[in-house]
Amino acid sequence: MGARAVVMAWALAFLMGCGSKSNPNETQYGTPFAVLGAMKLAQQAPNVNMGLRSYANCEELTTDIQSSLDQEAHLVKANLALSIQQYLNWTRRPRTQANEVSEMAQADSAGSGGESMTNVQERGVDEADFFRVGQEQIFAASFGRIQVIDRATLKPIGSVALQFATRPLLFTQNNKLIVMESNGRRTSLRIFRSRAGTIPELERSWDVAGQYVDSRLIGSQLILVLNDELPLQQVSFVWSDFANESWYRDKEARKIFEQYSTYHRRRVVMPVIDSKISGVPCTAISQRKVSDFDFQLAKILSLNIDDPEAPEKAVASIGQGGSIYVTSDAVYLVKSGWNWFHSPHF
């Protein structure tokens, strides 16, 4: 009797459902598989490398970076999948829920003697400033130019034009004036020879890719720290990348993907040209201390200001250099944090 009742109940349910189709607009989707995969990766801390060793070649460098970019792609893909899923659920939410969300949104919107040496940390290590006193002249950055004043009479001699129309940083040593400027993408360095009673004469100019971070002058050696970008390019996801998702065959989801995929793209390493990255040989780039998603290139450049023909020397480290400390025989570049699955969902 019990078995027959079950069969009859099933038959009744089947007959009631005949001739009707489930409405896809009533479907509510759960957490995307892409998000679950990214959450699993987020539980692992990035590798921390001890010691200091340079990459053996460009292939080793690009392989190391691409491994982290592949992990980052999981995060980007998860955010794209989550955007699609949330949009679908938002448009298909029950009417009562829509009213509650609307009220919440309204509530949220309602509450919303010799030469001067400045900033010296260690004896013999000079730091740049906006105002410097040279042997015979005083230099001050003001009114979009470098004002030159005679040190003996305090009378203005003239001014030196700026290249980026920004406030520069200055060094002085013996009869040299060093001017550094940055527009955020490139840094300009100019070395002038100064003489009493005249405007300083340009002796050497130097332009390099990267944003200025800090600098020091040790004797005749100028140490310059810049932040630049690794050569990366963006690549779009394709719809088949989400074949495992429950909404993959949902036509509305496909439309949303086509709209949102422009803003969620993964990154890959571009080919290295001439075995150099941003002017630095691959073999002069130290291996990453932390294998995270920080792909800034911190460059340390050294230049002999007394030799106009001397080429600059360059080394680099992958990861943004937040601060610098320089002694007479060492340079310390500090990485103050890591970039790893920074998202409210992980």
Q: Residue 254, SS3?
A: helix
Q: For the ranges 100-114, 151-165, 173-187, which has the lowest average pLDDT?
A: 100-114
For 39-52, the pLDDT digits (tens) are: 998 888 888 887 78
Q: In the prediction, which pLDDT does 88 show?
A: 92
Determine what percent of the chain is predicted with pLDDT higher than 70.
81
Phi first, then psi, for residue 234 (nearest 5°) are -95, 140
Alpha-carbon dihedral of residues 272, 274, 278, 283, nearest 10 degrees?
A: 90
Nearest to 150 by CA among 160, 139, 141, 142: 139
Q: In the prediction, which pLDDT does 346 show?
A: 59
Given a cut of 70, whether residue 114 has pLDDT beyond it is no
Q: For the ranges 47-61, 138-152, 312-326, which has the lowest average pLDDT?
A: 312-326
Determine what percent of the chain is predicted with pLDDT higher than 90.
56
Instruction: Return the higher-pLDDT residue of 134 and 327.
Output: 134
Domain boundaries, the chain: 52-85+210-346, 128-209
Given a cut of 50, whether residue 1 has pLDDT beyond it is no
- Its CATH architecture, for the domain 128-209, is Beta Barrel (2.40)
Residue 157 parent element (H or E): strand 156-161
For 299-314, the pLDDT digits (tens) are: 999 999 999 888 889 9
Distances in Å between the Cα of 187 and the Cα atoms of 160, 169, 191, 205 are 17, 11, 14, 11
Per-residue pLDDT band for 166 (boundaries 50, 70, 90) equals confident
Average pLDDT over residues 19-44: 74
Average pLDDT over residues 335-342: 79
Task: Quote the tokens at residue 85.
Answer: 């899923």
Per-residue pLDDT band for 320 (boundaries 50, 70, 90) equals low
DSSP string, 6-52: HHHHHHHHHHHHTT----GGG------HHHHHHHHHHTSPPPB--S-
- CA separation for the pair 50, 290 (Å, rounded): 9
Say if residues 225 and 180 touch (Cβ distance below 8 Å).
no
Average pLDDT over residues 315-328: 78
For the chain, the average pLDDT equals 83
Per-residue pLDDT band for 120 (boundaries 50, 70, 90) equals low
Per-residue pLDDT band for 72 (boundaries 50, 70, 90) equals very high
Given a cut of 70, whether residue 96 has pLDDT beyond it is no
Given a cut of 70, whether residue 53 has pLDDT beyond it is yes
